[in-house]
């Protein structure tokens, strides 16, 4: 295993991948990070604790770590309706508690070298009974990674998301801008504008990888490997 990951052995790190909205690219990034750590020999817990409207995101994480966790370990709470998880759960007369989700994630911390947690929706989207991704990030003392499409209007969304985080968590957050399939007038300039309000060294950009892509193939690209390494080492 490369030396730059040795620190994970001594202290399991939890990264929480959230976004500015649904469809921001959370699963794209989580699957890449999971595969990158996995191929470096780490025991990776790539988790999507709560989802609604299908389990495609969880399945992508399952594939990224070669099925080393079961689908139910990755995604213990899943609901059929393609609406906010808390509403989908209510339709099925079920509920998800903050403590149960926190315990599930922490249990994997004791059996893993690294834990990746993918939220659902944006930072403040309700996940269960009186909790959201911000609550879980605070409970777990996780490092927040905010994913957003690199397009017009995203700087406002990112600054609002950072503002919603407790100051200590916002200070150590990372931002990942993902280029959209069709660039607009702001694509490529958002990182520079954001640097006027947020440390540039904590902002990363990823190219458009296509509607479907193989994490196994993408993490072999030198440019992608460098971005993921820098993101994880900070």
Give the C-alpha separation, 179 to 186, whole Å: 10
Inter-helix orientation angle 133-140/98-109, to 10°:
40
Instruction: Out of 48, 141, 168, 211, pick the active-site residue.
Output: 48
Give the C-alpha separation, 224 to 227, whole Å: 5
Give the C-alpha separation, 115 to 122, whole Å: 20
Q: Name the E strands within the chain.
A: 13-19, 44-47, 50-52, 77-79, 114-118, 126-128, 131-132, 143-149, 174-178, 203-206
Which pair of structure tokens corresponds to residue 130?
């009186």
Residue labelled with tokens 């939220």: 119
Give the C-alpha separation, 57 to 120, whole Å: 10
Q: DSSP string of 14-52?
A: EEEEEESSTTSSHHHHHHHHHHHHHHTT--EEEE--EEE
48 is catalytic: yes
Beta bridge partners of 116: 15, 46
Catalytic residues: 48
């Amino acid at each position: 295993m490369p030396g730059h990951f040795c620190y994970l052995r001594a202290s399991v790190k939890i990264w929480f991948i959230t976004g500015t909205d649904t469809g921001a690219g959370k699963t794209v990034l989580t699957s890449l990070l999971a595969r990158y750590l996995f191929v470096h020999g780490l025991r990776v817990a790539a988790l999507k604790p709560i989802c609604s409207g299908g389990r495609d995101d969880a399945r992508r994480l399952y594939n990224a770590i070669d099925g080393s966790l079961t689908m139910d370990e990755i995604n213990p709470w899943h609901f059929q309706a393609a609406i906010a998880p808390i509403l989908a759960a209510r339709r099925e007369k079920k509920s998800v508690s903050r403590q149960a989700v926190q315990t599930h994630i922490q249990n994997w911390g004791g059996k893993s070298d690294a834990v990746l947690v993918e939220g659902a929706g944006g930072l403040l989207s309700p996940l269960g009974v009186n909790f959201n991704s911000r609550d879980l990030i605070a409970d777990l003392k996780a490092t927040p990674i905010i994913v957003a499409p690199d397009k017009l209007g995203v700087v406002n969304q990112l600054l609002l998301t950072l503002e919603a985080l407790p100051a200590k968590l916002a200070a150590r957050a990372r931002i990942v801008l993902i280029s959209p399939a069709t660039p607009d007038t702001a694509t490529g300039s958002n990182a520079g504008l954001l640097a006027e309000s947020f440390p540039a060294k904590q902002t990363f950009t990823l190219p458009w990888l296509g509607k479907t892509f193989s994490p196994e193939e993408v993490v072999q690209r030198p440019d992608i490997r460098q971005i993921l390494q820098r993101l994880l080492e900070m």
